[in-house]
Amino acid sequence: MNDLKGKRALITGGASGIGRATALLFAEQGASVAVADINAAAGTEVAAGIESLGGRAIFLGCDVTCDADCRRAIELVRSELGGLDILFNNAGIIRRATVPQTSEEEWDRIMAVNVKSVFLLSRHAIPLMAACGGGAIINVSSGWGVVGGRSAAAYCASKGAVVQLTRAMALDHAPQNIRVNCICPGDTDTPMLRREAEQLGTPEAAFLAEAAHRPLGRIGRPEDIAQAALYLAGEASSFVTGTILVVDGGGLAG
């Protein structure tokens, strides 16, 4: 299909889960992909896998909470790939806890990874994107960025912030032909989802079974979210910006 042929994409949290699935799909669709993650071994493996199939990929070691790392990542994308057309702000973490159970350090860490990273990478990416004639920024929020959830106060706050940041950026950067949209996944089968069961002290099988209680009767696959990202990255969504796309098997429908 090659819907993204000739495009250059940077994907954070690209070493596993949704990020990995999106990196593989974007490469399959013709994009050159920069896989950014703090997990060098897994990120390098993803990039090497893409290259082995004839695609173009590089790995970027990047702490998305560090301004210097984010600046360096964008500079490397410029020098190695020649520009930037797509930024997928996907890196994220969760802490299942109420406000009294959440330490200040945990609060700050969740806000840094889930929200500050979107700000930092976008701040450095937007000038490059604009110089390339425009592009697409896709931020990952959550169903809990739209409605509240129990025992996830800091996470809910961070993902709600991503929703509003997306809307503000869409307004600000439309004149530069930069579209900014947001995906709100429901429970998706990733390492982070399985860590939630551990944090709550719930048997993993029971936790995943409960998460599947939604109209479509299952939890999401990383590939489901990757397909939504592909839509928002490509020409099919050329008139779409400021949109919050919920991909959750009907969990928020009623």
- Res 60 pLDDT > 80: yes
140-143: long-range contacts (C-beta < 8 A, 24 or more apart)? 140/18, 140/88, 140/89, 140/90, 140/92, 140/182, 140/183, 140/185, 140/225, 141/166, 141/182, 141/183, 141/184, 141/244, 142/184, 142/185, 143/184, 143/185, 143/186, 143/246, 143/248, 143/251, 143/252
Instruction: Name the phi and psi angles at 58, rounded to 5.
Output: -130, 155
Residue 206 resides in a domain: no
Q: Which of 101, 170, 113 is nearest to 138 (CA)?
A: 170
**CA–CA gap between residue 41 and residue 121 (Å, rounded):** 22
Q: In 10 A of CB 117, how many CB atoms?
A: 27
pLDDT digits (tens, 9 = 90+) for 215-228: 999 999 999 999 99
pLDDT for 1 = 52
pLDDT for 139 = 99
Residue 17 resides in a domain: yes
- Res 36 pLDDT > 70: yes
- Res 2 pLDDT > 70: no
Domain that holds residue 138: 8-189+222-239
Residue 44 resides in a domain: yes
Residues serving a catalytic function are 155
Burial of 212 from C-beta contacts in 10 A (0-12 / 13-18 / 19+)? middle
Residue 156 resides in a domain: yes
Q: What is the pTM of this model?
A: 0.97
Give 254's pLDDT tier (boundaries 50, 70, 90).
confident
CA angle 74, 13, 184 (to 5 degrees): 110
Percentage of the chain lying above the pLDDT 90 cut: 98
Residues 6+ apart with CB under 8 A from 158: 110, 111, 114, 115
Percentage of the chain lying above the pLDDT 70 cut: 99
Residue 74 resides in a domain: yes
Give 207's pLDDT tier (boundaries 50, 70, 90).
very high
- Mean pLDDT computed over every residue of the chain: 97
Q: Are 139 and 162 in contact (CB under 8 A)?
A: yes
Residue 100 resides in a domain: yes
Number of domains in the chain: 1
Give 112's pLDDT tier (boundaries 50, 70, 90).
very high
pLDDT digits (tens, 9 = 90+) for 13-22: 999 999 999 9
Average pLDDT over residues 183-205: 95
Residue 252 resides in a domain: no
Q: Which of 116, 223, 199, 86 is nearest to 151 (CA)?
A: 199
Residue 3 resides in a domain: no
**Domain of residue 29, CATH code:** 3.40.50.720
Burial of 163 from C-beta contacts in 10 A (0-12 / 13-18 / 19+)? middle
Average pLDDT over residues 28-49: 98
Average pLDDT over residues 48-71: 98
